[in-house]
Amino acid sequence: MSNVVIIGTQWGDEGKGKIVDLLTEHADVIVRFQGGPNAGHTVVVGATKTILHQVPSGILHQGKQCIIGNGVVLDAETLIREIIEVKQQGYFTDDSALLISENAHLIMPYHKRIDVAREKMKGEGKIGTTGRGIGPAYEDKVGRNGIRFSDIFNDETFRLKVEQNLKEKNFYLKNYLGEEEFAAEEIIASYAAIRDSLRKYVGNAALVLHGALAAGKKVLFEGAQGSMLDIDHGTYPFVTSSNTAAANAAIGSGVGPRHLDVIVGIVKAYTTRVGEGPFPTEQNNELGESLRAKGDEYGATTGRPRRCGWLDLAVVQHAIRMNSISHLLITKLDVLSGLETIKICTGYRCEGKLVPGFPSDLAKLAACTPEYDELEGWKDDLTGVTSYEQLPDAAKRYLSYIEQKTATPVGMVSVGYRRDQIITLIDPFSVKN
């Protein structure tokens, strides 16, 4: 029996939501440990599509404990709307199924206004944020000016923090960004109006999680975004504002790293990216447009079209190293059907020399050209395939090639968006350590 961490190996959008939903059936506790409402996990059950931004994907199952950890930044207003929408779909019938860490930090209204105004001011040099205030919220957390979830239930503490923060935020908004200021009373009143609907979810999430581990419960740790958006190890500064790496599953939930048994890296069979930043294998051509259309590559949170390109194993190998990934799970293999040949990037060449690893210097990365291997494609429709044996030989060779180059076994393969369109080769919860 193992605890499992789900990590994206690329720039996010690898299909983690569906995988978490699938693996939740075998887990007792599901923990979201970082990020904010800038991440969207899409889960399709039957004919119903559900997009979750802050609530763990496990909420779509009965009898599971879902936890939002201390490493998450919360937008209280949108969280309430998300809870209402999930309940209206017939899920989340027991309020005790959701527990939110009292130490999770809040995204305040001024964070969102600052986020949007900064991007506007940067013009062509913008990062490409979602404008949801995630970066400014994490800045306040690290700067020790953040407002935590538990603070909204203490009138004196909340008022003091809001008033202190607005002295700085209003000056910055007005005098540097040229934006409207906030009135402390309006913010305080807005949270007073909604906090009672959230009170039943607040608690010591780390203590509850430790109790579950002590009782032998199986825990699934759910990450947001992808490894290449990690604040320390991604394509900085075109990254998110938190650590997306597996190690943060411990820090962002309140447990020690020895409880992280199996690290599953989700790999989309090609590569996509939303927003600005480097993308060595991007295809700004008919192929890229075809992948976008066939794979429905539009952001779950923003609706922005995703940039598309060939699978980049230099990126995947970088993610394997930084996360200690033990198994790979390949998603959207079906999207590659119909291609005569398929390219896979194996590394980069710069000034005639192969570059070891993934360059952290973006100027150097921009000067590199991808090195490709070319594999035979397949024409078969994979969406009805239910076993590895039924896959066409070319698709099997594609998977074997990934295993060989990364020295990491493929444990699952997804061939469609539904729960039942997945081939399981290795059950991550059954892996012995």
Alpha-carbon span 65 to 209, nearest angstrom: 9
**pLDDT reported for residue 309:** 97
In which element (H, E) is residue 355 found? strand 353-355
Alpha-carbon span 339 to 359, nearest angstrom: 30
Domain 4-95+204-430, CATH homologous superfamily name and number: Adenylosuccinate Synthetase, subunit A, domain 3 (3.90.170.10)
**pLDDT reported for residue 119:** 87
Residue range(s) occupied by CATH 1.10.300.10 in the chain: 105-199
Q: Read off φ and ψ for residue 386, nearest 5 degrees.
A: -120, -5
**pLDDT reported for residue 431:** 83
Q: Which residues contact 90 (CB under 8 A, 6 or more apart)?
A: none
**pLDDT reported for residue 17:** 83
**pLDDT reported for residue 43:** 67
3-state secondary structure 339-354: CCEEEEEEEEEECCEE
Let me know: does 403 contact 413? Beta carbons within 8 Å: no
CA-based nearest residue to 44, from 36, 33, 52, 56: 52
Let me know: does 358 contact 314? Beta carbons within 8 Å: yes
Tell me, what amino acid is at 183? A
Let me know: does 14 contact 319? Beta carbons within 8 Å: no
Q: Angle between the 184-198 and 155-175 helix axes, to the nearest 10 degrees?
A: 130
Q: Angle between the 76-88 and 184-198 helix axes, to the nearest 10 degrees?
A: 30
Alpha-carbon span 83 to 77, nearest angstrom: 10
Tell me, what amino acid is at 3? N
Residue range(s) occupied by CATH 3.90.170.10 in the chain: 4-95+204-430
Alpha-carbon span 87 to 127, nearest angstrom: 35
Token representation of residue 115: 């986020």
Q: Which residues contact 335 (CB under 8 A, 6 or more apart)?
A: 269, 270, 291, 294, 295
Tell me, what amino acid is at 426? I
| Given 41, 53, 105, 111, the catalytic residue | 41
67-101: b (≥16 Cβ within 10 Å) or e = bbbbbbbbbbeebeebbeebeeeebbeeeebbbbb
Q: Angle between the 109-122 and 155-175 helix axes, to the nearest 10 degrees?
A: 20
**pLDDT reported for residue 4:** 96
Under CATH, to which class is 105-199 assigned?
Answer: mainly alpha
Q: Cis peptide leading into 237, omega within 30 of 0? A: yes
Tell me, what amino acid is at 118? R
| Given 13, 75, 261, 312, the catalytic residue | 13
3-state secondary structure 114-158: HHHHHHHHHHHHCCCCCCCCHHHHHHHHHCCCCCEHHHHHCHHHH
Is 13 considered catalytic here? yes
Q: pLDDT per position in the chain (433 positions), as tens?
A: 689 999 999 999 999 888 888 899 899 999 999 999 876 666 665 556 677 889 888 888 999 999 999 999 999 999 999 999 999 988 999 999 999 999 999 999 999 999 999 988 887 777 777 788 999 999 999 999 999 999 999 999 999 999 999 999 999 999 999 999 999 999 999 999 999 999 999 999 999 999 999 999 999 999 889 999 999 999 999 999 999 999 999 999 999 999 999 999 999 999 999 888 899 999 999 999 999 999 999 876 667 899 999 999 999 999 999 999 999 999 999 999 999 999 999 999 998 889 999 998 998 898 899 999 999 999 999 999 999 999 999 999 999 999 999 999 999 999 998 888 999 999 999 887 6
Alpha-carbon span 37 to 68, nearest angstrom: 12
In which element (H, E) is residue 365 found? helix 362-366
Alpha-carbon span 15 to 230, nearest angstrom: 17
